[in-house]
Amino acid sequence: MSLRTPLQRVRGLGSAKEGVGHWWLQRLTAIALVPLTIWFMVSVIALQPADYDAVRAWLAQPLASVAAIGLVIALFYHAQLGVQVVIEDYVHQRKAEVVLQILTKFFCFFGALACSLAIIRISLGS
């Protein structure tokens, strides 16, 4: 006989609205990326020829800084979720799979960190 409550037994076994977590975050970041990507492409086109001062002046604007940081966070989160599924589907050797998953997560985390820091530095004028 188990002394655990039914709630304790079922917790963490899924279906507590957590099963769709990956799917949902992939969509949420996709929805965010639609306007942000279009904004980024249009802005970079408008900047051409993009010289040092023009790029920095653009990214230093408060709204542009916020949008750009939002973009890189959503982008690397979305990339990480997508590449994770591709690795799960195609890499059948367990060790290689784990190594690739770890490298993907690290790359995306530090990518988001590096881009955000770069934008913040420009935004603060340093």
Partner 1 sequence: MANRARPLSPHLQVYKPQLTSILSIGHRITGVALSVGSVLLIAWLLAAAGTREQFEWVQGLLASIPGQLLLLGWTFALNYHLLNGIRHLAWDMGWGLDLKRTYQTGWAVVALSILSTAAVWAAAHYY
Answer yes or no whether residue 59 interacts with partner 1 by CB under 8 A.
Answer: yes
For partner 1, what does the binding mask look like between residues 21 and 50, x meaning CB under 8 A?
------x--xx-xx--xx--x--xxx-x-x
Q: Is 6 or 21 the residue whose CB approaches partner 1 more closely?
A: 21
Answer yes or no whether residue 66 interacts with partner 1 by CB under 8 A.
Answer: no
The continuous run of DSSP H or E covering 4 comes out as: none
What type of residue is 53? D
Please, are residues 52 and 95 in contact by the beta-carbon 8 Å criterion?
no
- Nearest-angstrom CA–CA distance, 75 and 33: 7
Specify the stretch interacting with partner 1 by CB under 8 A; choose among 2-10, 12-20, 77-85, 91-99. Answer: 77-85
Task: Annotate 65-103 with b (16+ C-beta within 10 A) or e (fewer).
Answer: bebbbbbbbbbbbbbbbebbeebeeeeeeeeeeeebbee
What is the binding site for partner 1 (CB under 8 A)? Answer: 27, 30-31, 33-34, 37-38, 41, 44-46, 48, 50-52, 55-56, 59, 72, 75-76, 79, 82-83, 86, 104, 108, 111, 114-115, 117-119, 121-122
